[in-house]
């Protein structure tokens, strides 16, 4: 994620992975300004609702603004309809916002609803593409090498968390704009959004 404001920057690593019963989502912590590491603890993973999360790559201001707008819109939808917005609905809403006023971001909308777990990649012009897993940002080529090799249909939650951590570690090793730790979370229909603590992330990485 880049803190400059005059160009599209996607220096970041984020990942979403579906598994049997839920979805795992993760992001690194580094923010860059060109070749300068501007911040080592930037939030790029946001809880949008109990069943939907957002990851961001690109300009920090645009990412933070979008996270607030989306969280408010999904809450209003739930209050009006007495039911949560679907993941596809959240992805479509996000795509519509970006197509109306492009932001310098690349996003993942991940979550679970009655149709199951899903991951949507949203580009800066409002394109929305669903997949069983996806990576974004400058570290994504290194992450896809791990994901393509190790992803399996109907993975367990623990296997998906381990795969997300491995892919983020791979990007941190080779991409100068990624690193400085990671946030990891999983979403299930039963327990909603669950962010791992720093100790849990450290223990997971140590076990790999």
Q: Please list the active-site residues.
A: 12
Tokens of 156: 């367990």
Pairwise CA distance, residues 119 & 110, whole Å: 4
Q: Is 58 left (phi over 0), alpha (psi -120 to 50) or beta?
A: left
* Cβ(172)–Cβ(179) below 8 Å: yes
Buried b (16+ CB within 10 A) or exposed e, 181-208: bbbbbbbbeeebbeebeeeebeebbeee
Pairwise CA distance, residues 180 & 41, whole Å: 7
Q: Which residues contact 205 (CB under 8 A, 6 or more apart)?
A: 165, 169
Tokens of 131: 């997949």
* Helix (H) or strand (E) segment spanning residue 117: strand 116-122
């Amino acid at each position: 994620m880049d803190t400059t404001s005059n160009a599209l920057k996607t220096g970041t690593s984020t990942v979403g992975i579906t598994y049997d019963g839920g979805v795992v989502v993760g992001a690194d912590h580094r923010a860059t300004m060109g070749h300068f590491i501007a911040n080592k603890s930037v939030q790029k993973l946001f809880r949008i609702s109990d069943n939907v999360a957002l990851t961001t790559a690109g300009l920090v201001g645009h990412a933070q603004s979008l996270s607030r707008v989306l969280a408010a819109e999904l809450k209003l939808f739930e209050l009006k309809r007495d039911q949560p917005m679907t993941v596809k609905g959240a992805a479509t809403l996000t795509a519509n916002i970006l197509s109306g006023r492009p932001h310098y971001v690349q996003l993942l909308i991940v979550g679970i609803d009655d149709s199951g777990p899903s991951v949507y990649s949203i580009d800066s012009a409002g394109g929305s593409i669903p997949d069983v897993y996806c990576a974004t940002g400058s570290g994504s080529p290194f992450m896809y090498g791990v994901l393509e090799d190790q992803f399996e249909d109907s993975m367990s939650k623990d296997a998906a968390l381990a795969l997300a951590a491995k892919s983020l570690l791979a990007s941190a090793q080779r991409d100068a704009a990624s690193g400085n730790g990671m946030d990891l979370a999983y979403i299930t229909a039963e327990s909603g959004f669950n962010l791992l603590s720093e100790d849990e992330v450290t223990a997971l990485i140590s076990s790999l």
